[in-house]
Amino acid sequence: MVVGAGLGAVRLAENLRTNGHEEPITLIGAEPYAPYDRPPLSKTVLLGKEDRVELKPAEFYTESSITLRLGQRVTAVDPRAATVTVHGPGTDDIESVPYDDLVLATGLAPRAFPGAEHLAGVHTLRTFDDAVALRSDIDGAQTAVVIGAGFIGCEVAASLTERGVRVSLVEPAPTPLAQALGEPIGTLVARMHTANGVDVRAGIGVSEIVGDDSGAVRAVRLADGAELPADIVVVGIGSIPVTDYLEGSGIGFAPRETGGGIACDGVGKTSAPHVYAIGDVANWADGSPAARRVEHWNHTVEQAAVVAHQIAGGEGALITAAVPYFWSDQFTVKIQALGHPRADDDVHIVSDDGTKFLAYYSRDGILTGVVGAGKAGPVMKTRPKLATPTPVADLL
Ligand SMILES: Cc1cc2nc3c(=O)[nH]c(=O)nc-3n(C[C@H](O)[C@H](O)[C@H](O)COP(=O)(O)OP(=O)(O)OC[C@H]3O[C@@H](n4cnc5c(N)ncnc54)[C@H](O)[C@@H]3O)c2cc1C
C-alpha cells in the first residue's frame, strides 16, 4: 500500500509489478486526479500548452491490477496494528485498512506567506489545481511579483513573462538559485532573466503583501519600503514535508538541519517495520554525516526502484545512482545538473556565451558536480568523472 498517489507512488507500483510482485497494490491519494507529473505545472501548463499531465493512461492501472483510491486522505498510521486510517471520499467515510508493506510518498506542501493567505491573486504552486488557478488569473493581469527565486520561482517568473505579464522576481539572497547552486551561477541565471525582461530584485526581502479594499492583492512591499505593483503574486519560498498523518505513529523524523522529513536508512526503511518512505518527503541517510532530503524528480524515481526491489524480495542490494541528476526549464534554456553541486563549493565557469554556460563544482579539488545551461552534451559527458573521485584540475 502507498500513501500518496504522485510520482513516487506510481513508479513504485510499476516497479513492483515488473519485479514480479503479485500481491494487491493500492495507492491512496488525497487529490482527485490519477497520478500526474508536476514539472510541467510551472512550464507548459502555465503557458497554456498542455493540460494532460497524467503519468500513466487509465488502462495501466487496470491491466496491472493497481487500485487507485483517489480523493481519499490517510490521517493516521498504526505500525503495531499494521493499519492506516483513510478518510473520504465522503465526509463520514472513515476506514481502517490493513497493509503488509507500507510506502509513504506524500510529497510536500508549499509554505504560505504569513498574513496573505486570504488575498485573491496570491498563489503557491504544487498541485494541478494550483496551476489552473494561477493560469486563470494570468489573463487580464499586467503585473506579477514572484517571491522567492528558487527553481519553481524562477520557472514561474519565466512562464509569466512569456505570457506577457511584467514580472518582478524578489529574492533575499544575493542572486536567484543562490541556495541551490551558489552565487556565481545565480548571477548568470539573474542575467538570463533580466535579458528576458524580468525585473530581478535580489538581496532584498518582502515585508508585506498588500491588499486592496476588495480583498485582492495590489502590491508587494519590500523591506526598504518600495512597493511593486502586483495583479498576481506567486509565493515560492519553499515547501514542508507532508507528515501530519504520522503524528503519534512512532515513525521517526529527520532533524530539521538535515532537511527534515521522514527519517530513513540508506534504502528507504523508516523506524517502523515494513514501512518505507520515498520521494520529496523522505530523508534517506546516504552514509554521510548529514541525512539528505532531495526534492527532485529523478531522485524520487530511483528511490521508488530501490524500495520496490526490497518489497518484491529482489536479490542483492539495489542502491540509488551515485550521480544524481536534475533539470529546470527557464525561458528557452534547460538548466541541468549532475552530481552533488553545493552552494559553498568552488565553482569553475568553463564556458559562457551570454546565454549558455557550463560550470564544474569542486570541493577540496575534487569534482562534485556539473551545471550547464543549454549544454546537455557536455553535462552528460561528465557523468563517468563524477562516478569516481576526479581532480577538477583534470577537466580545466
Ligand atoms: C511546479 C513543480 C515543478 C517541478 N519541476 C521539476 C523539474 O523541473 N525538475 C525536477 O527534477 N523536479 C521538479 N519538480 C519536483 C518533482 O515534481 C518532485 O520531486 C516529485 O513530484 C516528487 O514526487 P513524490 O511522489 O515524492 O511527491 P508528489 O508528486 O508531490 O506526490 C505526493 C502526493 O501525495 C498526496 N498526499 C499527501 N498527503 C496525503 C495523505 N495524507 N493521504 C493521501 N495522499 C496524500 C499529495 O496530494 C500528492 O498528490 C517540480 C515540482 C513542482 C511542484
- CA separation for the pair 164, 160 (Å, rounded): 7
pLDDT at 114 over 70: yes
**pLDDT tier for residue 117 given thresholds of 50, 70 and 90:** confident
Strand pairing report for 166-171 and 199-202? parallel
For position 317, what pLDDT does the model report?
75
Which domains can be identified in the chain, with CATH numbers? Answer: 2-109+240-311 (3.50.50.60), 112-237 (3.50.50.60), 332-395 (3.30.390.30)
CA of 267 to the centre of ligand 1 (A): 20
User: Would strands 94-98 and 227-229 be described as parallel, antiparallel, or unpaired?
Assistant: unpaired
Q: Are 285 and 269 in contact (CB under 8 A)?
A: no
All three cell numbers of 314:
529482489
35 CB within 6 A, ligand 1: no
Report the separation in Å between the CA atom of 127 and the middle of ligand 1, taken as the mean of its atom positions.
8
73 CB within 6 A, ligand 1: yes
Which neighbouring-strand residues pair with 226? none
Over residues 271-283, the pLDDT tens digits come to 999 999 999 999 9
Q: How far apart are the first and last CA of the chain?
A: 49
Give the mean pLDDT of 305-317. Answer: 89
- Pairing assessment for the beta strands 66-70 and 25-29 based on DSSP bridges: parallel
- Kindly give the distance from the C-alpha atom of residue 389 to the centroid of ligand 1, in angstroms, as a whole number: 32
3-state secondary structure of 240: strand
CA atoms of 263 and 286, how far apart (whole Å): 11
Q: For 65-79, 237-251, 321-335, 348-362, which range has the lowest pLDDT when averaged over its residues? A: 321-335
Q: What residues contact residue 134 under an 8 Å CB cut-off, 6+ apart? A: 46, 123, 125, 156, 232, 234
Provide the grid cell at 102. Answer: 507500507
Query: Is there an atom of ligand 1 within 6 Å of 31 CB?
Result: yes
Give the span between the Cα atoms of 254 and 178, in whole angstroms.
24
Does 381 score more than 90 pLDDT?
yes
Query: If you write DSSP's letter for every residue of 77-100 in order, what string do you get?
Result: EETTTTEEEEE-SSTT-EEEEE-S
pTM: 0.96
Could you tell me the pLDDT band of residue 92, with boundaries at 50, 70 and 90?
Answer: confident
At 289 the pLDDT is 61
Q: Scan for cell 576526479, then name that residue.
A: 390
Q: Which of 154-163, 225-234, 280-289 has the lowest mean pLDDT?
A: 280-289
**Coil, helix or strand for 284?**
strand
Residue 325 sits at the vertex; the CA angle it makes with 321 and 330, to the nearest 5 degrees, is 170
- pLDDT tens per residue across span 122-135: 999 999 999 999 99
Which residues have C-beta within 8 Å of that of residue 353, sequence separation ≥ 6?
Answer: none
For residues 54, 59, 63 and 64, what is the CA-based torsion angle, rounded to 10 degrees? 10
Pocket lining: 36 vs ligand 1, CB cutoff 6 Å:
no
Ligand 1: residue whose CA is nearest its atom 29: 6
Is 42 close to ligand 1, i.e. is its CB under 6 Å away? yes
Q: Is the CB of 296 under 6 A from ligand 1?
A: yes
Share of the chain above pLDDT 90, in %: 91
Q: What is the pLDDT of residue 318?
A: 76
Residue 362 pairs with which residues in a beta bridge? 346, 367
Q: Is it the case that residue 363 has pLDDT exceeding 80?
A: yes
Burial of 394 (0-12, 13-18, 19+ CB in 10 A): exposed
Query: What cell numbers appear for 266 in the block?
Result: 540508506
Three-class secondary structure of residue 9 per DSSP:
helix
To which residue does cell 498510521 refer? Answer: 77
Q: Evaluate the omega torsion of the peptide bond into residue 229 and state whether it is cis, within 30 degrees of 0.
A: no
pLDDT digits (tens, 9 = 90+) for 291-301: 689 999 999 99
Closest-lying ligand 1 atom to the alpha carbon of residue 4: 34
Instruction: Label the pairing between strands 25-29 and 2-3.
Output: parallel
Find out whether the beta carbon of 276 lies less than 6 Å from any atom of ligand 1: no
Tell me the CA–centroid distance for residue 6 and ligand 1, in Å.
6
Select from 280, 281, 328 the residue to mutate for testing ligand 1; criterion: most ligand atoms less than 8 Å from CB: 280
pLDDT tens digits, residue range 56-83?
999 999 999 999 999 999 999 999 999 9
- The residue to mutate among 38, 87, 151, 278, having the most atoms of ligand 1 within 8 angstroms of its beta carbon, is 38
Please tell me the distance from the alpha carbon of residue 108 to that of residue 261, in angstroms, as a whole number: 9
With b for 16 or more beta-carbon neighbours within 10 A and e for fewer, the 285-318 pattern comes to beeeeebbbbbbbebbbbbbbbbbbbbbebeeeb
Q: Considering the chain, what is the average pLDDT of its residues? A: 95
